[in-house]
Structure 1
Amino acid sequence: MNRQRLQRVLVTSASSVLAIIVALVVCAVILLVTGKDPVKAYSTLFGAASETKVLQGMLNRATPLMISAAAVAIGFKMNLFNIGVEGQMRVALLSTAVIGGAVDLPAPLHVAFCFMIAMATGALWSGIAGWLKVKRNVNEVISTIMLNFIGLSVVAWAFDTFFRLDEEGESTSLLVKTKDLPRSAWFPDLVDRRLNGILIVAVVILILFWILVWKTKFGFQLRASGANAGAARASGVNPKRMIVISMLISGALAGLVGMRALMGDVHAYQNNLAEQQGFNGIAVALLGRNHPLGIFFSALLFGFLGEASGRLQLDDIPKEIVTIMTGIIVLAVVIINEAVKRWDDRRIQRRAAAMVEAAS
């Protein structure tokens, strides 16, 4: 690793750490203003890291966040903002629960079949935004937001129309879920009913993401198209093709976000299953700077905060302070990243000016 690259890595890591520190300081001020002891709150929060149950819960919560953040990051590398991961996940959950629950296959094949259904549905839903971007130049932020609304509405309609039934077939508001998946479609646990094996799938996805983006010709073309579409086109790359492919990959990953809850926990799709995991992936990707290693640790942080937040209520401290903290982290990351980018641009300009002056 050369000196310039090492400097960039250190600056990137420092900016994420600084964002976390800023969030901790701001939340401490909020706690003081509301009459709470921030030292006691943070001692309770981070003291939970010594509990095995909390660590297992952290990993379970981090699993979908890793996949969701990878789905967002692949779009960011193409300079696309796929804000529709939530909708793509919900539609994929519904199709997987319905189709996966209607077939009878041997266990390994059934699991793989459910994964394929989820990925195909997510890719199809995100592909609409990719097609609109290429053919009609529709901004992907607008199209994916609207597809979120459409997807969530379709799922809500399906639940209200087909699944709000009791055992006698009468309409009820007490049971709103799809048919349970057969046991052959359940993903095995790493630790009996406490840690689901889809964690391994999430880690493999991050490794494959790193290989694809940084170690393949396709990844170079993807990053080149995102950085400068005109220059990429001049070098023989088709940016429009890269837009469609990156959106399809992003959607396919989004389709897998809810699989831990569906295939490893509840084994049926309830109308409140895996809520907000698509949106939370955006925050994880931003904090992790769209790099697999950063995403991994960011997902662990968010997973831990979410799991340990319940301990705060034991000390009469509202657990919502963790939600505030995560929001501040995201804002701080965006602000600090922009400041670092401007500093880096000025540094490059000064270096270029010095070289020109030396040459003259």
Structure 2
Amino acid sequence: MKKFDKERLLLAVAGPVIALVSAIVLTSVVLVASGKNPFEPYRLMLEQIGFSDVQVLIVNQASLYYIAALAVALGFRMNLFNIGVDGQYRLAAVMTAVVGAHLALPSFLQVPMLMLVAMFTGAFWAGIAGVLKVTRGVSEVVATIMLNAIATSLIVYVTQADVWGVQVGNNMTTGIMKKSGWIPGIDLGAGAGEVYGLVFLAVLAGVLYWLVLNRTRFGFDLRASGASETAAAASGVDAKRMVLTAMLISGAVAGLSGLPLLLGDAHTYSLSFPTGLGFTAIGIALLGRNHPGGIALAALLWAFLDKASPALDYATPVAYEKEIATIMQGLIVFAVVISYEAVRQWGLRRQQKKVGAELAAAANGNNNAHKKEVAA
């Protein structure tokens, strides 16, 4: 039985905890500097957890964040920075909405078909950056940033009235999708609202992510290539093939990010469809340390800050700006980078001391054995 490593657990938990505490402290400093109570906003937001409708909003939002963060984490495990998740997710959502509005199949075929459209679109868009990297050496950061801009232009084109766009009031949409592609939610009653039916897709994605990375040869090759391409190549792994494969899978997962909202609530893509999801997912993946469990907690935290912060606008007798939550999210990302590096350095020093102590003990044991032999 594998021995429980308390020190490893401590190192894994220390980074996120330090980042979160640092963000709270720094946000409190900002509140004090602006003449506001540094504790009241946290109390007001925590009170929102007790409302069932806010709980539903948090879970629904977290499902989108979680899938998008898994897409980012897949790239991170390969030492790739897929900053194009936002473009991949939005382009996949608009193409899925277009197909869903113009094609009607039985539900048992329509839903899988729409998922495949989303995955294929996301994979195709991420694959462009992957091909550029393995064939021309173009940084995936530069390529995906440019692809985000191109995706935005394509979405504007697709939603034009003379292409596939349908104007509803002042909003351009892709039209309402066929009902066979809708996925019903879980109605909690009492005015709480519905939990997206595809919340379970997020759970399944997290389980598959862990199984593939930790229990398959492909996952080992991916992690090995991310840690050292040279070492991976020595064991027969084609680094370029792994880069392209990782980008394709990351894009496919990113394509699924918008489906809980698209198939469970909106049923159309419009100008009000959320943007910036992919960039938020980067912070969530960092805070969760690319672990499915850690990412889940980080996604719930981010969703909580998003959905509980509007209560600050209605605080009495003094209202607080809801942007406090945004400041806190930004500070968490900032603190994550610093705290993780500090924890890494501390862990490295601890490991060096441990190895040094073990070598010293072995040397002393050899010396004592030699002395005994000489004495004999």
TM-score surpassing 0.5? yes
Q: 2-side partners of 1:165 and 1:220: how far apart?
A: 47
Instruction: Name whichever of 212-221 and 345-354 sits farther off.
Output: 345-354
Given that 2:79 and 2:226 are in contact with CA atoms closer than 8 Å, whether structure 1 keeps it comes out as yes
Given that 1:100 and 1:113 are in contact with CA atoms closer than 8 Å, whether structure 2 keeps it comes out as no
1:184 correspondence with 2:166: no
Letter in 2 for 1:136: R
Correspondence 1:188-203 to 2 at 5 A: 188-191=184-187, 193-203=193-203
1:344 correspondence with 2:347: yes
1:102 correspondence with 2:105: no
TM-aligned CA deviation for residue 355 of structure 1: 4.9
C-alpha distance 155-13 of structure 1, shift in aligned 2 (>3 A): same
TM-aligned CA deviation for residue 346 of structure 1: 2.7
TM-aligned CA deviation for residue 139 of structure 1: 1.0
TM-aligned CA deviation for residue 153 of structure 1: 1.5
C-alpha distance 5-149 of structure 1, shift in aligned 2 (>3 A): farther
Q: 1-side partners of 2:164 and 2:330: how far apart?
A: 35
Aligned to 1:283: 283
Q: 1-side partners of 2:353 and 2:150: how far apart?
A: 49
Structure with bigger gyration radius: 2
Aligned to 2:90: 90
SS in 2 for 1:101: helix
TM-aligned CA deviation for residue 158 of structure 1: 2.4
1:208 correspondence with 2:204: no
Letter in 2 for 1:337: Y
SS in 1 for 2:186: strand
Aligned-residue identity in percent: 44
TM-aligned CA deviation for residue 272 of structure 1: 2.8
Unaligned segments of structure 2, at least 5 residues = 364-376
C-alpha distance 35-197 of structure 1, shift in aligned 2 (>3 A): same
SS in 2 for 1:176: strand
TM-score (norm 2): 0.90
Q: 2-side partners of 1:4 and 1:233: how far apart?
A: 32
Instruction: Name whichever of 213-222 and 117-126 sits farther off.
Output: 213-222
TM-aligned CA deviation for residue 243 of structure 1: 0.8
TM-aligned CA deviation for residue 10 of structure 1: 2.1
TM-aligned CA deviation for residue 150 of structure 1: 0.9
C-alpha distance 307-8 of structure 1, shift in aligned 2 (>3 A): same
Letter in 2 for 1:52: S
SS in 2 for 1:46: helix
Letter in 1 for 2:180: S
1:333 correspondence with 2:340: no
Aligned to 1:234: 234
C-alpha distance 166-156 of structure 1, shift in aligned 2 (>3 A): closer
TM-score (norm 1): 0.94
Q: 2-side partners of 1:311 and 1:282: how far apart?
A: 26
Q: 2-side partners of 1:14 and 1:165: how far apart?
A: 50
Q: 2-side partners of 1:248 and 1:73: how far apart?
A: 13
Given that 2:133 and 2:140 are in contact with CA atoms closer than 8 Å, whether structure 1 keeps it comes out as yes
SS in 2 for 1:38: coil
Aligned to 2:366: none
Instruction: Name whichever of 267-276 and 318-327 sits farther off.
Output: 267-276
Correspondence 1:1-360 to 2 at 5 A: 2=2, 5-160=5-160, 162=163, 166=167, 174-191=170-187, 193-315=193-315, 316-355=319-358
C-alpha distance 165-91 of structure 1, shift in aligned 2 (>3 A): closer
Given that 1:163 and 1:176 are in contact with CA atoms closer than 8 Å, whether structure 2 keeps it comes out as no
C-alpha distance 240-102 of structure 1, shift in aligned 2 (>3 A): same
SS in 1 for 2:132: helix
C-alpha distance 220-334 of structure 1, shift in aligned 2 (>3 A): same
Residues 224-260 of structure 1 show CA distances to partners (whole Å, capped at 9, x for unaligned) of: 1100110111011111111111111100010011112
Residues 171-216 of structure 1 show CA distances to partners (whole Å, capped at 9, x for unaligned) of: xx71310111011111110126521111111011001100010111
Q: 1-side partners of 2:350 and 2:7: how far apart?
A: 13
TM-aligned CA deviation for residue 14 of structure 1: 2.1
Q: 1-side partners of 2:87 and 2:217: how far apart?
A: 30
TM-aligned CA deviation for residue 79 of structure 1: 0.6
C-alpha distance 356-166 of structure 1, shift in aligned 2 (>3 A): closer
Letter in 1 for 2:174: T
Letter in 2 for 1:153: S
Aligned to 1:170: none
Q: 2-side partners of 1:274 and 1:197: how far apart?
A: 19
Letter in 2 for 1:45: M
Given that 1:261 and 1:274 are in contact with CA atoms closer than 8 Å, whether structure 2 keeps it comes out as no
Aligned length, in residue pairs: 355
C-alpha distance 244-164 of structure 1, shift in aligned 2 (>3 A): closer
